[in-house]
Amino acid sequence: MAASVQSVAKVLLRLTPSILQPLRIYQRLRPRASFSPVFPPSHTFCQAAALQEEGAAQAAQAAEALSRYREKPWAYLESEEFMEKYGSDPVWTGYRRNHKGGIPPQKTRKTCIRGDKICGNPCPICRDPNIIVHHQNVKLLEQFISPYTGMLFDPTKTGVCMKQQKKLTEAIDASRNHGFLSFQIPHVDFTKENYSNSHDAVGLTPPPPSLTSGESWYKWYDQITPDESEVAKVTTKYKAYLK
């Protein structure tokens, strides 16, 4: 059986020397490389190269954008670019997080960018590299503060990830400390009575009537005449404590 296979191979070799000759030459040129006559189609390389180029272009664009607004993050909020993209609405309007099932998660995600990996559907701040949370970026911070309570919106409302939410809280605190943002203090109406000393509880205490009239404090105090022997007993008992 083996002999017959060999003979068949020999016949094939004789019949197709023109095909096998270039292969042998290739093997001789590159003896160590494992030879595989099946080549991957060339267009896959082209696609990969194109994708790489596209990614590099995007990265370059992002880097350029970052470098443009890194010094002045607030300039982006006033630029035409921003107005075209968001108009006069806050940056988080219309953002909806993708989630499984009908009930939205009770917390936003921890972070949208891990290393150089960006998740699908990143949060309103992470999706735009030009938006930089900074304590001088007052227009941006104002979009995340409720006009009624003066408090930072809940992340489930704005969709901002926990990492950016932490940055926002820190930036707002810093901004208030620097005087860029106003404090919201609850208004309390006060009555004059609470602060006047004419009120009975806070006014000057009048002297006791007994002191003014010259009488004793208790009416029976003057009428008592204690027994002499009893007084002597008490004084000897509490001699150490009496002076």
Which is it for strands 117-118 and 113-114: parallel, antiparallel or unpaired?
antiparallel
- Rounded to an integer, what distance in angstroms lies between the CA atom of residue 158 and that of residue 194? 43
Give the Cα separation of 28 and 35 in Å (integer): 11
172 makes contact with Zn ion (CB under 5 A): no
| Side chain identity, residue 66 | L
Determine the interface stretch with Zn ion among 3-11, 58-66, 153-161, 179-187 (rule: CB under 5 A): 153-161
Among 131, 140, 145, 161, binds Zn ion (CB under 5 A): 161
Nearer to Zn ion, 24 or 99 (CB): 99
- How far apart are CB 114 and Zn ion at their closest, in Å? 11
Q: Are 92 and 124 in contact (CB under 8 A)?
A: yes
168 is a site residue for Zn ion (CB under 5 A): no
The stretch among 38-46, 109-117, 142-150, 167-175 that binds Zn ion (CB under 5 A) is: 109-117
The first and second tokens of residue 220, run together, are 């029976």
Residue window 69-108: x/- pattern of binding to Zn ion, with contact defined by CB under 5 A: ----------------------------------------
CB nearer Zn ion, residue 123 or residue 172? 123
- Subset of residues 113 to 132 that bind Zn ion, contact rule: CB under 5 A: 123, 126
| Nearest of 163, 54, 77, 78 to residue 128 by alpha carbon | 77
Bridge partners (DSSP) of residue 44 are: none
Q: Closer to Zn ion at the Cβ: 122 or 181?
A: 122
User: What amino acid occupies position 169?
Assistant: T
Q: How far is CA 9 from CA 5, 125, 187, in A?
A: 6, 68, 100
Stretch near Zn ion under the rule CB under 5 A, chosen from 46-54, 129-137, 154-162, 231-239: 154-162
Number of residues counted as binding Zn ion (CB under 5 A): 5
Does residue 112 belong to the site contacting Zn ion (CB under 5 A)?
A: yes
CB closer to Zn ion out of 91 and 126: 126
| 68: its two tokens | 């443009």
Torsion sign, CA atoms 159, 160, 166, 168: negative
* Site for Zn ion, rule CB under 5 A: 112, 123, 126, 161, 164
